[in-house]
Amino acid sequence: MSNSVTLIGNLVEDPELRFTPSGVAMAKIRFAVNRRYQKDGEWQEDTSFFTGTCWRDMAENVAESFTKGTRVIVFGRLSQRTWETNEGEKRSVVEIDVQDIGPSVRWATTTVTKTPRAGGGDFAQPAPAAPVARTDFGPDEAPF
């Protein structure tokens, strides 16, 4: 069973960039998703609010790129946290572990600037090696 979600909404505040004690960047985002529908001939609107977390390079890019009001497309996994308050009440919240995020260009334009990566990022692929001519062909192996 897949646990992924794609949501489109507007940031309700600037991303909050913080760092773990070991120096890993983390950005919290809060955004609103609106739904419009007609009921008895009248337009109705529902708004749902979501919190998401971005990590590492993405966190820093989000904090530098987006501000309150930016319309974003968020892709990630749902994650539920539960805890108990000091008064013994159980609480629970569903958040999004953000896997990817980008600006929506439905009603706006954007400019993309690639950031240089010293370490290559999470999905870095090694540069392809230069072809090397083989000279160790066996007696039954064709040299091509």
- Supply the pLDDT for residue 26: 97
At residue 91, the pLDDT reads 94
Contact 107, 69 (CB under 8 A): no
Provide the residue-wise pLDDT of the chain in tens; the chain has 144 residues: 468 999 999 999 999 999 999 999 999 999 999 998 999 999 999 999 999 999 999 999 999 999 999 999 999 999 999 999 999 999 999 999 999 999 999 988 988 888 877 665 555 555 555 455 444 545 555 444
Would 66 be classed as within a structural domain? yes
Residue 63 lies in a domain: yes
96 exposure class (CB count in 10 Å sphere: 0-12, 13-18, 19+): buried
Judge whether 128 lies within some domain: no
Structural domain boundaries enclosing 30: 5-36+44-103
CATH (domain of 85): 2.40.50.140
In a domain, 112, yes or no: no
- Domains identified in the chain, total number: 1
> 91 vs 1, 7, 30, 41, CA distance in Å?
26, 24, 19, 38
Strand partners, 23: none
Query: Residue 88 domain-assigned?
Result: yes
pLDDT recorded at residue 144: 45
pLDDT of amino acid 1: 46
User: Looking at the domain assignment, is residue 14 inside a domain?
Assistant: yes
In a domain, 30, yes or no: yes
* pLDDT in the model for residue 139: 53
